[in-house]
Amino acid sequence: MAREKKRRSRGRRSPLAAAALIGAGLMITGAVYAGTTAAFAASDTQTASTQLTVEDGEKLFQANCATCHGLDLQGTANGPSLYGVGELATEFQLSTGRMPLQMQGPQAPQKAPQFTEDQILAISSFVQSEAPGPTFPSDHLLDGKGDVANGAELFRVNCAMCHNVAAAGGALTEGKYAPGLSETSALHMYAAMVTGPQNMPVFGDMNLSDEDKRDIISALLFQQQSVQIGGFSLGSLGPVSEGLFVWIFGIGALVAITVWITAKSN
Protein backbone atom coordinates (compact mmCIF):
# COMPACT_ATOMS: atom_id res chain seq x y z
CA MET A 1 0.00 0.00 0.00
CA ALA A 2 2.86 2.35 0.72
CA ARG A 3 4.44 1.78 -2.68
CA GLU A 4 1.14 2.39 -4.48
CA LYS A 5 0.60 5.65 -2.64
CA LYS A 6 4.10 6.78 -3.53
CA ARG A 7 3.58 6.13 -7.23
CA ARG A 8 0.35 8.11 -7.24
CA SER A 9 2.03 11.06 -5.59
CA ARG A 10 4.69 11.08 -8.28
CA GLY A 11 2.10 11.03 -11.09
CA ARG A 12 0.20 14.11 -9.89
CA ARG A 13 0.68 17.43 -11.75
CA SER A 14 0.82 20.80 -10.14
CA PRO A 15 -2.24 23.07 -10.74
CA LEU A 16 0.13 25.82 -11.89
CA ALA A 17 1.39 23.62 -14.74
CA ALA A 18 -2.08 23.39 -16.27
CA ALA A 19 -2.57 27.15 -15.97
CA ALA A 20 0.84 27.76 -17.56
CA LEU A 21 0.01 25.46 -20.47
CA ILE A 22 -3.33 27.17 -21.06
CA GLY A 23 -1.69 30.61 -20.89
CA ALA A 24 1.05 29.60 -23.33
CA GLY A 25 -1.54 28.20 -25.71
CA LEU A 26 -3.58 31.40 -25.58
CA MET A 27 -0.48 33.54 -26.18
CA ILE A 28 0.61 31.48 -29.19
CA THR A 29 -2.92 31.51 -30.63
CA GLY A 30 -3.18 35.28 -30.13
CA ALA A 31 0.21 35.93 -31.73
CA VAL A 32 -0.67 33.82 -34.77
CA TYR A 33 -4.05 35.56 -35.09
CA ALA A 34 -2.53 39.05 -34.77
CA GLY A 35 0.16 38.29 -37.33
CA THR A 36 -2.35 36.89 -39.80
CA THR A 37 -4.71 39.82 -39.33
CA ALA A 38 -1.91 42.36 -39.84
CA ALA A 39 -0.76 40.60 -42.99
CA PHE A 40 -4.28 40.61 -44.44
CA ALA A 41 -4.76 44.27 -43.48
CA ALA A 42 -1.49 45.29 -45.13
CA SER A 43 -2.44 43.33 -48.23
CA ASP A 44 -5.88 44.96 -48.36
CA THR A 45 -4.39 48.44 -47.86
CA GLN A 46 -1.84 47.94 -50.62
CA THR A 47 -4.52 46.61 -52.99
CA ALA A 48 -6.83 49.52 -52.18
CA SER A 49 -4.09 52.09 -52.65
CA THR A 50 -3.09 50.74 -56.04
CA GLN A 51 -6.69 50.60 -57.29
CA LEU A 52 -7.67 54.24 -56.71
CA THR A 53 -8.96 55.74 -59.94
CA VAL A 54 -10.53 58.94 -61.18
CA GLU A 55 -13.90 57.49 -60.20
CA ASP A 56 -12.62 57.01 -56.64
CA GLY A 57 -11.43 60.59 -56.68
CA GLU A 58 -14.88 61.73 -57.77
CA LYS A 59 -16.50 59.88 -54.86
CA LEU A 60 -14.02 61.38 -52.40
CA PHE A 61 -14.63 64.84 -53.87
CA GLN A 62 -18.41 64.49 -53.61
CA ALA A 63 -18.14 63.31 -50.01
CA ASN A 64 -15.65 65.92 -48.77
CA CYS A 65 -15.45 68.89 -51.15
CA ALA A 66 -18.73 69.27 -53.06
CA THR A 67 -20.48 70.98 -50.14
CA CYS A 68 -18.42 74.11 -50.74
CA HIS A 69 -17.23 73.73 -54.33
CA GLY A 70 -20.35 72.14 -55.87
CA LEU A 71 -20.92 68.76 -57.43
CA ASP A 72 -19.87 70.11 -60.82
CA LEU A 73 -16.98 72.18 -59.40
CA GLN A 74 -18.97 75.31 -60.21
CA GLY A 75 -18.53 76.77 -56.73
CA THR A 76 -21.08 77.88 -54.15
CA ALA A 77 -21.58 80.73 -51.72
CA ASN A 78 -19.18 78.93 -49.37
CA GLY A 79 -16.38 78.16 -51.82
CA PRO A 80 -14.96 79.30 -55.17
CA SER A 81 -15.30 77.58 -58.51
CA LEU A 82 -12.57 75.10 -59.39
CA TYR A 83 -12.77 75.62 -63.15
CA GLY A 84 -9.21 75.86 -64.44
CA VAL A 85 -7.68 74.94 -61.09
CA GLY A 86 -6.16 71.66 -62.24
CA GLU A 87 -4.36 68.89 -60.38
CA LEU A 88 -1.35 70.93 -59.24
CA ALA A 89 -3.34 73.37 -57.11
CA THR A 90 -5.59 70.58 -55.83
CA GLU A 91 -2.63 68.51 -54.70
CA PHE A 92 -1.07 71.56 -53.04
CA GLN A 93 -4.19 72.47 -51.06
CA LEU A 94 -4.91 68.91 -49.93
CA SER A 95 -1.32 67.86 -49.17
CA THR A 96 -0.67 70.92 -47.02
CA GLY A 97 -3.91 70.37 -45.13
CA ARG A 98 -5.33 73.75 -46.11
CA MET A 99 -8.30 71.94 -47.58
CA PRO A 100 -10.81 70.81 -46.49
CA LEU A 101 -11.22 74.07 -44.64
CA GLN A 102 -11.96 73.76 -40.93
CA MET A 103 -13.51 77.20 -40.52
CA GLN A 104 -13.82 80.49 -42.34
CA GLY A 105 -11.08 82.98 -41.55
CA PRO A 106 -8.65 85.44 -43.09
CA GLN A 107 -6.52 82.57 -44.36
CA ALA A 108 -6.61 78.79 -44.54
CA PRO A 109 -3.97 77.51 -42.08
CA GLN A 110 -1.60 74.68 -42.89
CA LYS A 111 -2.27 71.47 -40.96
CA ALA A 112 -1.90 67.71 -41.23
CA PRO A 113 -3.53 66.39 -44.41
CA GLN A 114 -6.86 64.62 -44.04
CA PHE A 115 -6.31 62.21 -46.92
CA THR A 116 -3.61 59.72 -47.87
CA GLU A 117 -1.26 60.43 -50.74
CA ASP A 118 -3.14 58.05 -53.04
CA GLN A 119 -6.47 59.64 -52.18
CA ILE A 120 -5.06 63.10 -52.84
CA LEU A 121 -3.74 62.03 -56.23
CA ALA A 122 -7.12 60.46 -57.07
CA ILE A 123 -9.00 63.67 -56.19
CA SER A 124 -6.44 65.71 -58.13
CA SER A 125 -6.88 63.49 -61.18
CA PHE A 126 -10.64 63.93 -60.98
CA VAL A 127 -10.35 67.72 -60.79
CA GLN A 128 -7.92 67.69 -63.71
CA SER A 129 -10.34 65.61 -65.79
CA GLU A 130 -13.24 67.95 -65.08
CA ALA A 131 -11.48 71.31 -64.83
CA PRO A 132 -8.07 71.13 -66.55
CA GLY A 133 -5.39 73.44 -65.25
CA PRO A 134 -1.71 73.51 -64.24
CA THR A 135 -0.17 70.03 -64.10
CA PHE A 136 2.76 68.53 -62.26
CA PRO A 137 6.18 69.74 -63.45
CA SER A 138 9.04 67.64 -64.72
CA ASP A 139 11.60 66.34 -62.23
CA HIS A 140 14.17 68.63 -63.83
CA LEU A 141 12.52 71.71 -62.31
CA LEU A 142 12.51 70.19 -58.82
CA ASP A 143 15.99 68.66 -58.70
CA GLY A 144 17.55 71.56 -56.75
CA LYS A 145 20.48 71.80 -59.16
CA GLY A 146 19.74 75.23 -60.57
CA ASP A 147 21.70 78.46 -60.14
CA VAL A 148 21.52 79.10 -56.39
CA ALA A 149 22.96 82.62 -56.58
CA ASN A 150 20.51 83.72 -59.27
CA GLY A 151 17.66 82.05 -57.41
CA ALA A 152 18.53 83.87 -54.19
CA GLU A 153 18.54 87.21 -56.05
CA LEU A 154 15.21 86.44 -57.72
CA PHE A 155 13.74 85.46 -54.35
CA ARG A 156 14.87 88.73 -52.76
CA VAL A 157 13.33 90.74 -55.60
CA ASN A 158 10.05 88.88 -55.95
CA CYS A 159 9.33 87.06 -52.69
CA ALA A 160 11.25 88.48 -49.74
CA MET A 161 8.87 91.38 -49.13
CA CYS A 162 6.30 88.83 -47.89
CA HIS A 163 8.24 85.69 -46.98
CA ASN A 164 11.21 87.50 -45.40
CA VAL A 165 14.70 87.47 -46.89
CA ALA A 166 15.46 84.34 -44.83
CA ALA A 167 12.18 82.68 -45.98
CA ALA A 168 10.99 82.68 -42.37
CA GLY A 169 7.57 84.11 -43.27
CA GLY A 170 5.97 87.36 -42.23
CA ALA A 171 2.73 89.12 -41.32
CA LEU A 172 0.46 90.70 -43.91
CA THR A 173 -2.64 92.89 -43.54
CA GLU A 174 -6.03 91.91 -42.08
CA GLY A 175 -4.73 88.91 -40.15
CA LYS A 176 -3.12 87.27 -43.17
CA TYR A 177 0.45 86.05 -43.32
CA ALA A 178 3.08 84.62 -45.63
CA PRO A 179 4.16 81.19 -44.35
CA GLY A 180 7.73 80.20 -43.64
CA LEU A 181 9.42 78.01 -46.24
CA SER A 182 11.91 76.15 -44.08
CA GLU A 183 10.09 72.83 -44.54
CA THR A 184 8.28 73.37 -47.84
CA SER A 185 8.92 70.76 -50.53
CA ALA A 186 10.19 71.62 -54.00
CA LEU A 187 6.87 70.58 -55.55
CA HIS A 188 4.88 72.88 -53.30
CA MET A 189 7.27 75.77 -53.96
CA TYR A 190 6.65 75.35 -57.67
CA ALA A 191 2.90 74.93 -57.16
CA ALA A 192 2.72 78.13 -55.12
CA MET A 193 4.49 80.13 -57.81
CA VAL A 194 2.33 78.72 -60.61
CA THR A 195 -1.09 78.67 -58.93
CA GLY A 196 -0.85 81.60 -56.50
CA PRO A 197 -2.57 80.20 -53.38
CA GLN A 198 -4.04 82.45 -50.68
CA ASN A 199 -2.58 85.96 -51.07
CA MET A 200 0.32 84.97 -53.31
CA PRO A 201 0.34 86.27 -56.88
CA VAL A 202 0.66 83.94 -59.85
CA PHE A 203 4.12 84.03 -61.41
CA GLY A 204 3.58 83.15 -65.05
CA ASP A 205 6.27 82.60 -67.65
CA MET A 206 6.25 86.34 -68.40
CA ASN A 207 7.31 87.02 -64.81
CA LEU A 208 9.51 84.03 -64.05
CA SER A 209 10.53 81.43 -66.59
CA ASP A 210 10.70 77.75 -65.68
CA GLU A 211 14.44 78.05 -65.24
CA ASP A 212 13.95 81.06 -62.96
CA LYS A 213 11.54 79.02 -60.86
CA ARG A 214 14.06 76.18 -60.78
CA ASP A 215 16.74 78.60 -59.55
CA ILE A 216 14.48 79.93 -56.79
CA ILE A 217 13.60 76.41 -55.68
CA SER A 218 17.31 75.49 -55.68
CA ALA A 219 18.14 78.52 -53.55
CA LEU A 220 15.43 77.69 -51.02
CA LEU A 221 16.46 74.03 -50.84
CA PHE A 222 20.06 75.12 -50.34
CA GLN A 223 18.96 77.42 -47.52
CA GLN A 224 16.97 74.60 -45.90
CA GLN A 225 20.04 72.37 -45.88
CA SER A 226 22.56 75.00 -44.82
CA VAL A 227 23.88 75.07 -41.28
CA GLN A 228 23.36 78.17 -39.13
CA ILE A 229 26.81 79.62 -38.50
CA GLY A 230 27.34 81.61 -35.32
CA GLY A 231 25.14 84.00 -33.38
CA PHE A 232 21.46 83.91 -32.52
CA SER A 233 19.09 83.66 -35.48
CA LEU A 234 16.28 85.32 -33.41
CA GLY A 235 13.74 83.63 -35.65
CA SER A 236 15.36 85.13 -38.77
CA LEU A 237 12.79 87.93 -38.58
CA GLY A 238 15.26 90.70 -39.35
CA PRO A 239 15.16 94.14 -37.69
CA VAL A 240 11.97 93.40 -35.74
CA SER A 241 13.43 90.69 -33.54
CA GLU A 242 16.87 92.35 -33.53
CA GLY A 243 15.44 95.68 -32.39
CA LEU A 244 13.36 94.00 -29.71
CA PHE A 245 16.42 92.12 -28.46
CA VAL A 246 18.46 95.34 -28.28
CA TRP A 247 15.62 97.22 -26.56
CA ILE A 248 15.02 94.61 -23.88
CA PHE A 249 18.55 93.47 -23.15
CA GLY A 250 20.64 96.43 -24.33
CA ILE A 251 18.67 99.29 -22.81
CA GLY A 252 17.68 97.07 -19.90
CA ALA A 253 21.36 96.49 -19.12
CA LEU A 254 22.06 100.25 -19.31
CA VAL A 255 19.21 101.00 -16.90
CA ALA A 256 20.44 98.33 -14.50
CA ILE A 257 24.00 99.71 -14.57
CA THR A 258 22.71 103.25 -14.01
CA VAL A 259 20.66 102.14 -11.00
CA TRP A 260 23.65 100.23 -9.60
CA ILE A 261 25.99 103.23 -9.98
CA THR A 262 23.44 105.54 -8.33
CA ALA A 263 22.91 103.15 -5.44
CA LYS A 264 26.68 102.73 -5.06
CA SER A 265 27.32 106.47 -4.92
CA ASN A 266 24.65 106.96 -2.27
Per the prediction, the chain carries an average pLDDT of 84
CB atoms within 10 A of CB 192: 23
Q: What pLDDT band is residue 75 in, cutting at 50, 70 and 90?
A: very high
Other CB atoms within 10 A of residue 210 CB: 14
| Count of helices and strands (H, E) across the chain | 12, 2
pLDDT at 22: 75
Using DSSP's 3-state secondary structure scheme, residue 170 falls into: strand
CA distance 247 to 171: 21
**Close Cβ partners of 237 (under 8 Å, ≥ 6 residues apart):** 164, 168, 170
Contact call for residues 223 and 166 (beta carbons, < 8 A): yes
Q: What is the pTM of this model?
A: 0.69
d(C-alpha 194, C-alpha 147), whole Å: 19
Residue pLDDT, tens place only, 202-237: 999 999 999 999 999 999 999 998 766 555 665 555
- Per-residue pLDDT tens for 8-42? 555 555 666 667 777 777 778 777 776 666 665 55
Give kind and range of the element (H or E) at residue 265.
helix 252-265
User: In the prediction, which pLDDT does 230 show?
Assistant: 54
The pLDDT score that the predictor gives to residue 247 is 76
Q: In angstroms, how far is the first alpha carbon of the chain from the final one?
A: 110
